[in-house]
Amino acid sequence: MQVKDLTIEEFRGFIQETVTETLEILLRDRDEDEQLKPEVVQELIESLQRTQGGEPGISANVVAKKLGLKW
Q: Which residues of the chain are under the pLDDT cut of 50?
A: none
List, in order, residues 6 or more apart from 57 with CB less than 8 Å away.
47, 50, 51
Q: At 60, is the secondary structure helix, strand, or coil?
A: helix
Dump pLDDT digits (tens) for 16-35: 888 888 887 777 766 656 67
Model pLDDT, residue 26: 76
N-terminal to C-terminal alpha carbon distance within the chain:
31
Q: What are the strands, taking DSSP E only, across the chain?
A: 28-29, 35-36
